[in-house]
Amino acid sequence: MAMKLKEVVPLGRSFDEYRLMFNLSKSDLEKRIIGVGDGPASFNAEMNEMGRPVTSIDPIYFFSAKDIAQKFNKVFDNIIEQVKNTPGDWTWTYHMSPDDLREHRSEALTKFTQDFEQGKKDGRYLRGELPNLNFPDHTFDIALCSHFLFLYSDHYDYDFHKSAVYEMLRVSKEVRIFPILDLMLNRSPHLEPLIDQLRADGYRVVIKKVPYEIQRGGNEMMWIFNKSEGKMLPI
């Protein structure tokens, strides 16, 4: 047993974790980026500090920073408890232990909450949700989605995943999704049918190994290129 969650939980990762999970290069970081389902990650706050504003979308941005922190605190102890009870299911190379993980998630939450109200005013945090993104076609170069699609495969069916991915491909030249495992550490059952569908529709799809792992075996991301982007496959 890896992890049982009744609903999607608002846990956030840092800039450094995003960089590794999504294999983001220096030049990627200069592109127009949208983080879909960014929740209380500190990626947006840290990118903004570096002078590279990005757009984050999440339904949870309806709430205040204080409410989001409360939601995080409500579920967090139980998550760390489940992690401690399933030691064989986790890889301690980036985070060194469950307590180290606790510290990293709390740090990300703090950076997010400190940035959130200003970021909302700047239009960097927008309330929105898949499978509909309120942007014109091709607004972004890179759409990122971590720890939502595929991870919650029991909660969202194939049709949701398909609509969500095609919507991200509508607004962005390329899409990167991490991880491709579900909460029970199995490859998502939606992955292969979705790859087949995307390839049949002419998209380039790559499953790329990345230098980040916490779920045991969860060190791959799905990388999808819009038809016009296929020529410059960076692998």
Residue from the set 3, 20, 34, 38 that interacts with ligand SAM by CB under 6 A: 38
Q: Does 130 bind ligand SAM (CB under 6 A)?
A: yes
CB of 233 to ligand SAM, least distance (A): 25
Residue from the set 45, 47, 54, 60 that interacts with ligand SAM by CB under 6 A: 60
3-class SS of residue 81: helix
Q: Provide the 8-state DSSP code for 148.
A: S
Closer Cβ to ligand SAM, 16 or 129, answer by number: 129
Q: Provide the 8-state DSSP code for 63.
A: S
Q: In this structure, which amino acid lies at residue 23?
A: N
| Contact range with ligand SAM by CB under 6 A, out of 47-55, 146-154, 206-214, 215-223 | 146-154
Q: In this structure, which amino acid lies at residue 19?
A: R
| Contact range with ligand SAM by CB under 6 A, out of 44-52, 54-62, 165-173, 187-195 | 54-62
Q: Does 39 bind ligand SAM (CB under 6 A)?
A: yes
| Contact range with ligand SAM by CB under 6 A, out of 36-44, 80-88, 92-100, 214-222 | 36-44
Q: Which residue is nearest to ligand SAM (CB)?
A: 39
| Contact range with ligand SAM by CB under 6 A, out of 3-11, 47-55, 189-197, 204-212 | 3-11
Sheet holding 204-209, edge to edge: 125-127, 55-58, 33-36, 140-146, 172-178, 220-225, 204-209
Q: Does 206 bind ligand SAM (CB under 6 A)?
A: no
Q: In this structure, which amino acid lies at residue 106?
A: S
CB-based contact 20:212 (threshold 8 Å): yes
Name the nearest CA neighbour of 164 among 183, 187, 143, 180.
143
Q: Does 10 bind ligand SAM (CB under 6 A)?
A: yes
Cross-strand pairs, 118: none
CB of 38 to ligand SAM, least distance (A): 5
Q: Which residue has the tokens 């204080």?
A: 66
* Residues 6 or more apart in contact with residue 139 via CB below 8 angstroms: 32, 34, 171, 172
Q: Which residues form the interface with ligand SAM (CB under 6 A)?
A: 8-13, 36-39, 41, 58-60, 129-130, 146-148
